[in-house]
Amino acid sequence: MLKPYTKSTLKFVKTASQSPTSSWSSNSGGMPKYEGKERLHDKSKSSQKSPTKENTKPQEIRLHTQQRATRRATFNYMVAAKLSILEQRRKQEEMLQKMIEEEEIRLLRKEMVPRAQLMPFFDRPFVPQRSRRPSTVPREPSFMSRKCFGCNSSSGFYNFQHTTQPMNPIK
């Protein structure tokens, strides 16, 4: 590997760094002035070729869109798997419901077969008993005895009066 500085350039750098005030001139307005020594050009440097670099492999770039696409693909797969599981459960429930309904229909048909009724027991005849509740008091339906509104047309205005009469029980 090559050194960035050769001996001649190091000498120039050392001399320039040792006398910083001598490199500035007062009449140049702050512009640096080169010293008498210049860089010496080394022939060995120009004759040397730069060494060949090793073949470099580019880094694999992972874009955010690629990462997002992989995450989205896994999400879509999980959603599809969940939907298929739900579909299987629904089919199983439908099959179970269908089997239950068929069994109920079979039992109903079995019960619908006409059979002879059993002979009633005559050793314990039915005897009705009197109720202990008091009987209701009947009333006469008096539709005409109760007037809700009467119309009185005196002085051109209508006056509505509410009249009620008590209901009489039947004797």
H/E segment holding residue 160? strand 159-161
Spatial CA neighbour of 38 closest among 12, 19, 14, 20: 12
Higher pLDDT, residue 160 or 78: 78
CA distance 161 to 151: 7
Residue with the two structure tokens 């874009």: 63
The C-alpha atoms of residue 107 and residue 114 are separated, in whole angstroms, by 14
Helices (H), the chain: 7-18, 43-47, 64-111
pLDDT at 117 over 80: yes
Residue-wise pLDDT tens digits, 121-164: 778 878 888 899 999 988 888 777 555 555 555 555 555 555 55
- Give the residue extent of every domain in the chain: 62-109
d(CA 19, CA 7): 19
Binned at pLDDT 50, 70 and 90, residue 106 comes out as: very high
Instruction: Give 13 or 100, the one with higher predicted confidence.
Output: 100
Exposure string over 140-162, b if 16+ CB within 10 A, otherwise e: eeeeeeeeeeeeeeeeeeeeeee
Task: Count other Cβ atoms within 10 Å, centred on residue 6.
Answer: 14
For 39, how many CA atoms within 13 A lie in the half-sphere containing its CB?
8
Please tell me the distance from the alpha carbon of residue 8 to that of residue 38, in angstroms, as a whole number.
10
Q: Is the pLDDT at 16 greater than 50, yes or no? A: no
The residue among 29, 34, 28 whose CA lies nearest residue 12 is 34
Most confident segment among 28-37, 87-96, 110-119: 87-96
The string of pLDDT tens digits covering residues 42-64 is 555 556 777 788 888 888 888 89
